[in-house]
Amino acid sequence: MFACLFQSQMLLNQLREITGIQDLQVLQSALNVCLVQQHLSMYDEYSILSVKLNNYACLCILVSFTFSDGMKRKRCEGSGESCSPADWIRQEDCPVGIRNVGNTCWFSAVIQSLFHLPVFRRLVLNYCLSERVLEKCKSHSEKRNIAFMQELRCLFALMVGSNRRFVDPSAAVELLRDAFRTSEAQQDVSEFTHKLLDWLEDAFQLAANGNNPEDKQNNPMVQLFYGTFVAERLHEGKIVSNIEQFGQYPLQVNGFNNLDECLEGAMVEGEIESLHSDQTMSSGQERWFSKLPPVLTFELSRFEFNQSLGRPEKIHKKLEFPQVIYMDRYLHKNVDQTHGRRGDVKRLKDQLTVLQQKLEGYKNYGSGPTKYPLADMLQYVVEFATTKPTNVCVTNCAYRLFSLPCLSPSKYDAGSSDGSGCPQTATQKTPIHKPFTQCRAPMEVPLQPAPHSVTEEELYFVRSCLQRWRAEVENTVNELKASIDKVSQALEGMYSDNSLCQVSYRLHAVLVHEGQASAGHYWAYIYDHANKRWLKYNDVMVTESTWEELVRDSYGGMTNASAYCLMYISDKLPYLIAGTFPLCFSDYASMMLTPAMQGVIFAIAKARQVFDKDGPEAGLIKAFHEEYSRLYELSQEETTPQQDPRLQHVLVYLFQNQAPNRVIERTLLEQFGDRNLSFDDRAVSIMREARSKIRLIKPEDMDMDEYLQWHDDYSMFKTVFAYLLTGLEQYQNGKIREALNYLAHAHQDNSVLLRKGERKGVDQSLIALYRRKCLKELNDNAATLFKSPDANDVAEAVTIMNECIIPCMHLMVRDSVSQEDLDVIELIRSCWCSYLGQDMDDSLQEKLSEFLPRVLDCSAELVVLKEPPKVRKSPHDLCSRLTAVMESIHSTSVITVK
């Protein structure tokens, strides 16, 4: 009993995380509704586990219920983090962070990198165990793994649906910590990470194949993260090979400059030339990837144990890695091709070494400790030989210098100087003035060294030899540089041709450690595939980043921050990043918490007994009848300004417009065939049954063009509603130009729908009313700007007329215009005609004459409205926005809908 109460309390706490509602009575009511719908008991341990583990839709029901009428969140209700909502409310289109609950930044980095891999996120959120498997889970490790998976699913659900800026991972982290407290003393981050992945593998193994734990062929963790490699070695003249499995592939950092060099070092150990030759000597080992996983993870060994110091140390060496890496050269199927190129690489590297050594000899020449470029040395000798000697004795010059009074030892010490090169004594306040010529060397002494004597023949011979040698040296240096560039380019392009650039992997996440081996901080850079940008996940902070920032923090070598784990994903498998669960809560709610999805879940729950007794087909028929009846009753409800039942489900729209039964039945059948219903065995069976019945519908049984036209009409209906609501929201926020554009499009598209049927569109009077309001206010604004002495204001007024007001007037005249619309049009015309009798500049008169005829005559041109931006039009979103906007229209305050 106490265990059940504890688990129910945990579930309530997690629901509070998602909704932000602090009233436990409200949340308890929601949980009770969920249990009733699932025919479960609050005090049954298995029931609570089933709610939390096997039926992900229950979480959706809970969230949906807590946001239903009568249970809406209070606007100023907090979450326990801060009194100011701005400090904890999640920003639109921004992923959530994870709270650091005590040295758990490593957990945040790992979990974020996995969560933002859409294929893995789907696996976790759709994880379920059958009742048969649950009953067989008796061991401590199995129960622990299920508990961990349960907490991870709840954490992922929070990360998808929470309105908060960050979530709390305490429950999942404590399970990991407890395992180390009870069985292992060492609490190393690498060990934590491996333990986490091991538990995930074991948990998925229970779901994949509960009868045979050893058969991991169907384990999604193995399929996603594990590959195999072939290890080959030469033993007594024969090649011995074996196949091994790998998950996170370890790579050494020391001794390598980039990721390809690391991989080459990991693939080849020792000398391998004898592996594929006639020699019978022992040799090193080669590894070749035989199967690469969809998600390829490299573990960079940046920590090593220092034997002399008796403690671990971190390797801060710089290591570069690319955004795209090609793995062809490391595959076993390309062994012959790679071997040939490795031989070429070795030959080119040897050649490059010789060339660089030769160049070094020319650049640093000499036998002493100090070396100089040889070409410069030859030039200096030429300059020395060609410097003309003088007849002045240097010794006599020196004698004269040292005999000058200003340099007499009795006249100065080393303490000061007058700035002319003559030092002063410590007590001397003014310098001793001497003739300037007495304080410097005589002008005839050469500034550069020169030979005492040289004949013309000697000078000619020496200069010609040195200049020729210098030219030879410069030519040789240039040739060496050109050869080095050529060899370097050949090395860079050795694996760049198309035959070895077929298996590409793209960088998905970089896990970074900052600090030393014994302590530090962890964060992650993760690529946002949908928006083509890098994001930095640093505990609760999620910020947009750049590749340059990632390089600075991840390559190492400059600071004590560097990457310790790289996660690449296959470029050839688009399903890896094709996310089913969007990151934005409104989008998530539109898909998982729509009234349509909730209704199907309830219908399946009501058909549980029929399903268990008579099978999937009977269960589908029962659930189909329940949902059909519910939607038909909903279609009979009265439409109010705050609520339109058609927005809740396409079938309500079809019922109200008297669509053919075949269209209604197929539409509902496809609802039951939705893949998002795969949350337990019963739902999966009903989903498959619905899909099989859809496949039985033959072309002669249904006109698909008619079917698609009905759904196109409903899509346009939602678009009209989205344009209308967006226009009203913009109008309330004072953005009149934007509002008019949306309302004009809403009116135009709605006219098309209304011609097909009265209930196919929206009430046109509401659109027309606010279109007139926008036109009048916008025209008043343009008229005021046109009178301004500022030329920019005048230009803005003309733009408003040409792009907004005149096109909208033309459309109004061409439609069946009402008297109210004609009155507004006449008001606009009178406003601008009144300017004709006023004195104005010639430039204003010219501008007025350009657009005034179009104001007066609305039949002479083609009207093209400016296309508005894309709008949100999910039914769930539109329902809540309609309520908020209409409440705002009938009150004095503006209600913002996010």
Catalytic site positions? 105, 521
Strand bridging mode 248-252 / 416-417:
unpaired
- Quote the strand ranges of 90-218, DSSP E: 97-98, 166-167
What is d(CA 158, CA 537) in angstroms, rounded to the nearest whole number? 16
What is d(CA 589, CA 519) in angstroms, rounded to the nearest whole number? 41
CB 739 within 8 A of CB 694: no
CA–CA–CA angle 684, 686, 687 (5° rounding) = 60
Tell me 226's DSSP state.
-
Helix 806-814 to helix 819-833 angle, to the nearest 10 degrees? 140
What is d(CA 137, CA 362) in angstroms, rounded to the nearest whole number? 75
Residues in the chain: 898
What is d(CA 431, CA 418) in angstroms, rounded to the nearest whole number? 6
- Quote the strand ranges of 400-503, DSSP E: 416-417, 423-424
Residue in this structure with the two tokens 């100023």, named with its chain if needed: 76
What is d(CA 628, CA 540) in angstroms, rounded to the nearest whole number? 45
Residue in this structure with the two tokens 């489900």, named with its chain if needed: 649
CB neighbour list of residue 128: distance below 8 Å, 6 or more residues apart:
53, 54, 55, 56, 207, 679, 680, 681
* Tokens linked to 705: 């063009």
- Residues pairing with 538 in the sheet: 541
- Burial classification of residue 76, based on how many CB atoms lie within 10 Å of its CB (0-12 exposed, 13-18 middle, 19 or more buried): exposed
Distance of CA 818 to the CA centre of its chain: 51
Residue by residue, DSSP assigns 47-58 as HHHIIIII-HHH
What is d(CA 22, CA 79) in angstroms, rounded to the nearest whole number? 7
What is d(CA 719, CA 723) in angstroms, rounded to the nearest whole number? 6
CB neighbour list of residue 99: distance below 8 Å, 6 or more residues apart:
166, 167, 168, 169, 539, 540
248's enclosing H/E stretch is: strand 248-252
CB 652 within 8 A of CB 645: yes
Helix 170-183 to helix 189-208 angle, to the nearest 10 degrees? 110
CB 596 within 8 A of CB 654: no
* Tokens linked to 140: 């401590």
- Burial classification of residue 81, based on how many CB atoms lie within 10 Å of its CB (0-12 exposed, 13-18 middle, 19 or more buried): middle
What is d(CA 647, CA 595) in angstroms, rounded to the nearest whole number? 9
Strand bridging mode 295-301 / 248-252:
parallel
* Tokens linked to 97: 């962070």
One-letter identity of residue 658: Q
* Tokens linked to 879: 């329902």
Name the 3-class secondary structure at 238: strand
CA–CA–CA angle 454, 459, 465 (5° rounding) = 140
Name the 3-class secondary structure at 543: strand
